[in-house]
Amino acid sequence: MHALLVIDVQNDFCPQGALAVAGGDEIVAGINAVMGRFDAVVLTQDWHPAGHSSFASSHAGNAPYDMVDMAYGPQVLWPDHCIQGTRGAAFHPVLETDRADLIVRKGFNPAIDSYSAFFENDHKTPTGLAGYLRTRGVQEVTLVGLALDFCVNYSAVDAAQAGFKVHVRRDLCRAIDLNGSLAEAEKAMTGAGVTFD
């Protein structure tokens, strides 16, 4: 069983969104086109309560893209984005969401961010996705979506560490590239045994 994991293809990560990733909307048609080749399709949805601790607006004296130390480690502060129930948190309107077997929401804990589809940023609190995939007999996953250097990267590395064979389709991802984050992410994924194909 080979699953497609579609990471955070949401309005806020597309042009004009609150945390727009350059070209984020360019990958949607290509993602729809490959969905049919997989035994399972899982979508993730970044899903923050208002006032989330990863928002710069929740930290007096900080600006978006500042780094802060949280109880669980260093954390980038982001513009307010993907607030539960808003248009920005909705999937890109062209994404064929009806074809998904499962939608995983993450980042709903006000105190912990969650880049990965598998664990919150404390690297301890599971989302339940690994168990879902294993119980469905999935052994191999291909990741696509936004952003390559944050949520796709963390999800791919965690998937590899959980024992799945992991592929990332770079042509169906776009990156934020904040202070060298893309190069760092590529190193982390390669080191974890992720292949780009």
Contacts of 162 (CB under 8 A, 6+ apart): 118, 130
Binding map of ligand VGL across residues 69-98, x = CB under 6 A, - = no contact: ---------x--------------------
Cβ-contact 119, 158 below 8 angstroms: yes
| Alpha-carbon span 194 to 197, nearest angstrom | 9
Contacts of 31 (CB under 8 A, 6+ apart): 6, 9, 95, 144, 145, 172
Kindly state the smallest distance separating residue 55's Cβ from ligand VGL, in Å.
10
> Which residues are catalytically annotated?
8, 106, 151
Choose from ligand VGL, Zn ion, none: what does 150 bind? Cβ within 5-8 Å by kind.
ligand VGL
| Residue 20 structure tokens | 């727009």
Decide whether 38 or 150 has the Cβ nearer to ligand VGL. 150
- Asked if 146 touches ligand VGL (CB under 6 A), the answer is yes
Using CB under 6 A, list all residues that contact ligand VGL. 8, 13, 46, 78, 115, 146-147, 150-151
